[in-house]
Amino acid sequence: MSFSLEPHHLRPNIHSNALLTLLQRSRIIIGTITGNVSASNVLKEALCATRDLRIRQLLLALGPTSPLSLGTRHQKIIWATFLEAADVHDGCDAVVVSPAHLTDLSINFEKMADKSSVRLLMGDFLDSALSASSESEVFPFLSRLLTRIRESNQTAFFLVTEDMHDLKKIAMVKRFADVVIEYRRTQGGAGQGVETRILDYGRDYDSDWQRNGNQDRNCDDRPLLPQLS
């Protein structure tokens, strides 16, 4: 593997086989978040899963989630944020692009996601891009980006927070997906937890909602996703 992760920032050895399997067999995976679910923790679980994959390089495409919160090092990062490059904390080696400048985002994706060096793209940049632009502006940008990912035999795992955007934008994003993973916060007898389900359009398979990891516990040993047989 050519990327380095700080182990104490990640939830070690707890990812389910579900995400690993989906990353291996799907091209476009969209994770949707409803309620108080940590995008950072979802991405940390995905980073744990990538350690079992043979990947030359990973490109993080981040938005609300700070690169430093993931504990990444020596990583290709596009950060769609309104922060100025000069305001980004020391130790964060990221290409900073305004989410309102979709052309600049597209150019940087094309430059940094070369198929010879990048197999997997991952992050929550969509929340920033969808917030800063209209549906009619985002659609052609996403169409070009995701078509290029498919044609390059790469895989994308992008998160979007449903509560932040109108339903038309969320529906547009989902239409590009081979698989949608839905995460939602629940309140039950045992306290708050996270429920997930998998909608695999290519295989015409929808899992039931399953309660898994409780993101409030740092020592949680349950993955956020259910197991796949």
pLDDT digits over 46-72, tens only?
888 887 666 657 899 999 998 888 876
Residue 211 has pLDDT above 90, yes or no: no
Q: Is 13 part of any domain?
A: no
> Rounded to 10 degrees, what is the CA torsion of 181, 187, 192, 198?
-10
Q: Are 33 and 39 in contact (CB under 8 A)?
A: yes
Q: Is 15 part of any domain?
A: no
Q: Is 19 part of any domain?
A: no
Q: Are 119 and 65 in contact (CB under 8 A)?
A: no
Give the model confidence (pLDDT) of 69-126 as tens digits.
Answer: 887 665 789 999 987 654 555 556 789 999 999 999 999 999 998 877 788 999 999 9
Q: Are 160 and 127 in contact (CB under 8 A)?
A: yes
Encoded tokens for 162 = 């449903």
Q: Is 226 part of any domain?
A: no
pTM of the model: 0.83
**CATH number, position 155:** 3.40.50.300
Q: Is 21 part of any domain?
A: no
Q: How many domains does the chain have?
A: 1
Average pLDDT, the chain: 81
Q: Is 86 part of any domain?
A: yes
Q: Is 55 part of any domain?
A: yes
Domain of residue 203 covers 29-211
Give the model confidence (pLDDT) of 147-191 as tens digits.
Answer: 999 999 999 999 999 999 999 999 999 999 999 999 998 876 555
Residue 3 has pLDDT above 70, yes or no: no
Residue 141 has pLDDT above 70, yes or no: yes
- Rounded Cα gap, residues 51 and 34, in angstroms: 27
pLDDT bracket for residue 7 (50, 70, 90)? very low
